[in-house]
Amino acid sequence: MSNQDARTPRVFLVRHGETEWAKFGRYTSTTDVELTAKGALQVSSAAPIPRKRAIKTFELLMQSPPSTTAECEVTYTEDIAEWNYGDFEGLMEWEIKSLIKTKGLLQGREWNIWGDGCEGGESMQQVTERLDRLISQIRLIQKPYMNGEKPADVLLVAHGLILRCFLKRWLGLSLDFPLEMMLAPGAIGVLSYKKNNISIPAFHAGIALPFPDEN
């Protein structure tokens, strides 16, 4: 990554730490579930509205002040809330598929949340619309500073599925586009723009570390 690219605004995606429901694979959106002790450690180790688990994750991340004098603005928005699972809330994937089969939904076709959404919850289109709205707001903030004129990084603390949805929309992909991704509890992903160009959104497959003599 060139020094020029290093000054391009970034978007950091942070998934909240482990919860009891997430640990066992239960679909969790509107239900408030606390972080486990392990979940708190996952986030603390990553640190040098949203639900309780996302708020707690943010608080743990920010308990050590950033090493920059730049001002930080905190905003809570439902545009990055987890996909509303509706009738599937609290269920594991095999339970959802069994329920769909029992109700005769999808006519025997395998359920896929990316394209099928959730009965009683959100559709793919609804999730797409709110994520696109958030992405437009972020790009409006970052566009004037594509060459590092002023710090304009954005930190998003949210939930596993919606962050993977966000990455797809950041790249201009449909939510049902087959792009396999992993984002463990407490994990951090980084998005930015290629060639300092607001029209070329990209994700970092890897970030070059600074040389020892660099600030």
Catalytic residue annotation = 16, 82
In 91-153 the beta strands, taken as DSSP E runs, fall at: none
d(CA 158, CA 80): 7
Tokens standing for residue 72: 């930080």
- Pairing assessment for the beta strands 154-158 and 11-15 based on DSSP bridges: parallel
CB atoms within 10 A of CB 78: 11
Q: What is the dihedral of CA 84, 86, 88, 93, to 10 degrees?
A: -30
d(CA 143, CA 8): 10
Q: What is the DSSP letter of 19?
A: B
Tokens standing for residue 184: 């463990």
Instruction: With H, G, I as helix, E, B as strand and everything else as coil, classify residue 192.
Output: strand
The residue with tokens 């896929």 is 112
CA distances from 107 to 73, 103, 110, 111, 202 (A): 48, 10, 9, 10, 37
